[in-house]
């Protein structure tokens, strides 16, 4: 006779290899060129390094047009000149991104910003100046990003607009001139600034206080209107049209509880056509009747939700990405004149016929009465009862978890774990009341929300209270350390990826270009100078004596946001206290693991670690898998 545990294991589907879940995608991130001639996408080369590939639309002439040797390319943009494709690349995760251009005819690649220690922060393009890009770069001063005008044919770079030191965002008008900006203010809020023309003085359009958030999105036709995303005078962020002559505002789209997410703007007319709201799932609201029939047609193309829409300049050809929770992202070409869609590819075809788990939106009430949303994934083929569980915490913390395919959720569910992700207070997308409820609540009420989620899962009978782990990256790594130190009886193990251990050293070591956001950090987290003891009291480093559960740490040596010292110091403190810790540093990684060999190595170690400490016999052995740059510390 088999035990109930053996029966459950027998009913689970076969193990999905880690390289299917965490290896490079087969094809991803497609974009149509503005002239509608080409399709570019990211895919690995024969050495398994992610490159940009090019296809002529209507043909099958796919070819690689980049030749990165190591880290792989993950960001590219189409200029309007029809001759080049541009991409960004840093060095071993240092986030000092440089800009490169590939000539589509010759295949030659040029580095356009060959400045050591300098970062290209953003890129703007416009059909009125097809040979030009506007880029923000901290070349003059590492603390601030000035605007430069770059000519693609010659590579000439000209200084365009100076940053006085507090500007954190720029917006160009219909003539491709910088006409709006966002300036951080000493109160932790920011000002939206406008000017009549380059060289004219900046004027205040609106001040947003520290509890508000907003920014210019784009100028409309002839720059007679400015579109904003802002939550002033409301709880959630709205799409607002501002008349530039009268400064009167008109709300175009809003929801009392959820922020506006993506805005679909016509590439030539410059007018918003639809907006998304990320509720339990992404939902679109059509603003322009001209695209109503298109969204109705797209709703019939594929199950799941529309996550991305990319178009040529004429808006006749759309490239649409559909997200599902139990399969890959599916990409289609959509022809507007005929309203017909043609399947392009999925990002990982090996996932298409696998027995993947469903992701269930959940909600519960926190101990102080706040409505908390999250997502639960449970194994396929067995009852969701008394399972080992991993609480997987998102980073940011000013971000959120989303419905859709999640490789970590699928990996853990396939191994027999329930997986819970919680959008705790301070997460974005749920309006400013929910966001600001997280102010100064690191290791406080933000952590209470996580524990309330664990208790919810236990009360529902889903989680075995003796076999629960906590895992996450960045803020999620910090939450892991908090979980093991502040609530040591809740968790049987913890996996921390690039998580800070002392808030004070974290805030004192942030990159110089984060300086304009210091007041925001002071308000949302705490002031290092004024709140030293408070921040120390919320830092896991000083509570290692409380830890009862084993800890696994993964860290990138070149991380500019959470320096290696954050992981070094808590690993050292744990060893001095005689506490169990495994610590792996990847010498060619930054804030997270970009190289697939490193991701596969770390998740192999994490899989064995969780199986051991949550008493789960179902796992794919690590065998002799090696991270390219892994160093056991």
pLDDT band at 4 (very low <50, low <70, confident <90, very high): very low
Averaged over 396-412, what is the pLDDT? 97
Map residue 159 onto helix, strand or coil: strand
Q: Which residue has the tokens 């350390």?
A: 481
Q: What is the H or E stretch that residue 342 is in?
A: strand 340-346
CATH of domain 166-269: 2.120.10.30
Per this entry, what is the length of the chain? Answer: 633
Asked if 207 and 189 touch (Cβ cutoff 8 Å), the reply is yes
Angstrom distance (rounded) from CA 389 to CA 381 = 16
Question: If you average pLDDT over every residue of the chain, what do you get?
Answer: 95
On the question of pLDDT at 9 being above 60, the answer is no
Count of C-beta atoms within a 10 Å radius of residue 114: 11
Tell me how far CA of residue 319 lies from CA of 21, 60, 177, 479, in angstroms.
24, 17, 29, 38
287-325 pLDDT, tens digit each: 999 999 999 999 999 999 999 999 999 999 999 999 999
Asked if 515 and 138 touch (Cβ cutoff 8 Å), the reply is no
355-390 pLDDT, tens digit each: 999 999 999 999 999 999 999 999 999 999 999 999
Choose among 282, 228, 274: nearest CA to 251: 228
How is the chain split into domains, by residue range? Answer: 4-16+352-632, 166-269
Map residue 287 onto helix, strand or coil: coil
Count of C-beta atoms within a 10 Å radius of residue 212: 18
Q: Is 591 an active-site residue?
A: yes
User: Active-site residue among 474, 501, 539, 567?
Assistant: 474
Angstrom distance (rounded) from CA 36 to CA 314 = 8
Averaged over 538-561, what is the pLDDT? 97
CATH class of 4-16+352-632: alpha beta
On the question of pLDDT at 629 being above 80, the answer is no
Between residues 7 and 467, the one the model is more confident about: 467
Q: Is 92 an active-site residue?
A: no
User: Active-site residue among 98, 559, 567, 629?
Assistant: 559
Q: Write out the two tokens for 76.
A: 């590219």
pLDDT band at 3 (very low <50, low <70, confident <90, very high): very low
pLDDT at 398: 97
The predicted model scores a pTM of 0.96
Asked if 550 and 480 touch (Cβ cutoff 8 Å), the reply is no
Backbone torsions φ then ψ of 447, nearest 5 degrees: -75, -35
Spatial CB neighbours of 371, under 8 Å, sequence gap ≥ 6: 363, 364, 365
What is the percent of the chain with per-residue pLDDT over 90, rounded to a whole number? 94
Choose among 62, 51, 54, 61: nearest CA to 38: 54
DSSP 557-593: TT-SSS-HHHHHHHHHHHHHTT--EEEEEETT-BSB-
Topology agreement, domain 4-16+352-632 and domain 166-269: no
Q: Write out the two tokens for 110.
A: 């040029």
pLDDT band at 470 (very low <50, low <70, confident <90, very high): very high
145-179 pLDDT, tens digit each: 999 999 999 999 999 999 999 999 999 999 999 99
CA quadruple 232, 233, 238, 240: dihedral, nearest 10: -80
Q: Is 421 an active-site residue?
A: no
Between residues 25 and 630, the one the model is more confident about: 25
54-94 pLDDT, tens digit each: 999 999 999 999 999 989 999 999 999 999 999 999 999 99
pLDDT at 27: 98
User: Active-site residue among 98, 232, 591, 601?
Assistant: 591
Spatial CB neighbours of 59, under 8 Å, sequence gap ≥ 6: none
């Amino acid at each position: 006779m088999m035990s109930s545990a053996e029966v459950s294991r027998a009913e689970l589907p076969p193990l999905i290899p880690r390289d299917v879940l965490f290896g490079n995608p087969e094809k991803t991130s497609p974009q149509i060129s503005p002239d509608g001639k080409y399709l570019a996408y990211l895919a690995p080369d024969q050495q398994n390094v992610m490159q940009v590939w090019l296809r002529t639309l209507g043909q099958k002439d796919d070819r690689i047009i980049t030749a990165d040797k190591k880290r792989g390319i993950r960001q590219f943009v189409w200029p309007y000149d029809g001759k080049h494709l541009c991409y960004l690349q840093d060095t071993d995760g240092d986030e000092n991104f440089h800009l490169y251009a590939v000539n589509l005819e010759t295949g030659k690649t040029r580095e356009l910003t060959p400045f050591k220690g300098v970062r290209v922060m953003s890129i703007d393009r416009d059909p009125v100046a097809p040979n030009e890009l506007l880029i923000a770069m901290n070349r003059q001063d590492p603390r601030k990003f000035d605007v430069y005008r770059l000519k693609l044919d010659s590579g000439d770079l000209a200084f365009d607009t100076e940053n006085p030191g507090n500007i954190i965002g720029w917006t160009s008008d219909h003539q491709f001139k910088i006409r709006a900006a966002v300036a951080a203010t000493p109160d932790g809020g920011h000002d939206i600034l406008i000017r009549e023309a380059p060289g004219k003085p900046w004027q205040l359009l609106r001040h947003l206080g520290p509890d508000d958030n907003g920014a210019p999105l784009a100028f409309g036709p002839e720059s007679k209107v400015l579109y904003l995303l802002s939550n002033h005078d409301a709880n959630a962020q709205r799409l607002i049209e501002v008349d530039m002559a009268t400064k009167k505002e008109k709300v175009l789209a809003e929801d009392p509880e959820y922020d506006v997410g993506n805005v679909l703007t016509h590439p030539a007319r410059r007018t918003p056509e639809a907006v998304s709201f990320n509720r339990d799932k992404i939902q679109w609201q059509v603003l322009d009747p001209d695209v109503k029939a298109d969204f109705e047609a797209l709703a019939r193309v594929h199950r799941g939700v529309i996550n991305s829409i990319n178009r040529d300049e004429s808006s006749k050809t759309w490239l649409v990405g559909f997200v599902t929770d139990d399969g890959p992202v599916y990409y289609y070409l959509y022809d507007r004149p005929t309203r017909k869609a043609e399947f392009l590819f999925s990002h990982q075809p090996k996932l298409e016929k696998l027995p993947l788990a469903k992701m269930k939106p959940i909600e519960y009430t926190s101990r102080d009465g706040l409505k908390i949303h999250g997502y639960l994934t449970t194994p396929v083929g067995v009852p969701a009862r008394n399972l080992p569980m991993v609480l997987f915490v998102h980073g940011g913390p000013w971000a959120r978890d989303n419905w859709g395919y999640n490789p970590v959720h699928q990996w853990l569910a396939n191994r027999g774990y329930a997986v819970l992700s919680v959008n705790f207070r301070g997460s974005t997308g749920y309006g400013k009341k929910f966001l600001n409820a997280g102010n100064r609540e690191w290791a406080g009420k933000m952590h209470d929300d996580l524990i309330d989620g664990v208790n919810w899962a236990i009360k529902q009978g889903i989680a075995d209270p003796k076999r629960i782990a906590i895992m996450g990256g960045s803020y999620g790594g910090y939450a892991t350390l908090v979980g093991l130190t502040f609530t040591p009886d809740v968790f049987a193990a913890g996996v921390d990826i690039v998580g800070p251990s002392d808030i004070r050293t974290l805030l004192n070591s942030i990159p110089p270009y984060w300086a304009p956001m210091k007041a925001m950090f002071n308000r949302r987290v705490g002031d290092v100078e004024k709140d030293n003891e408070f921040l120390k009291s919320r830092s896991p480093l000083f509570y290692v004596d409380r830890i009862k559960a084993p800890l696994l740490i993964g860290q990138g040596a070149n991380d500019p946001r959470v320096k290696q010292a954050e992981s070094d110091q808590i690993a050292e403190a744990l060893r001095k206290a005689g506490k169990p810790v495994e610590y792996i540093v990847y010498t060619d990684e930054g804030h997270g693991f970009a190289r697939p060999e490193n991701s596969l190595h770390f998740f192999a170690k994490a899989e064995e670690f969780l199986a051991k400490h949550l008493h789960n016999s179902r796992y794919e052995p690590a065998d002799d898998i090696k991270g390219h740059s892994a160093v056991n510390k």
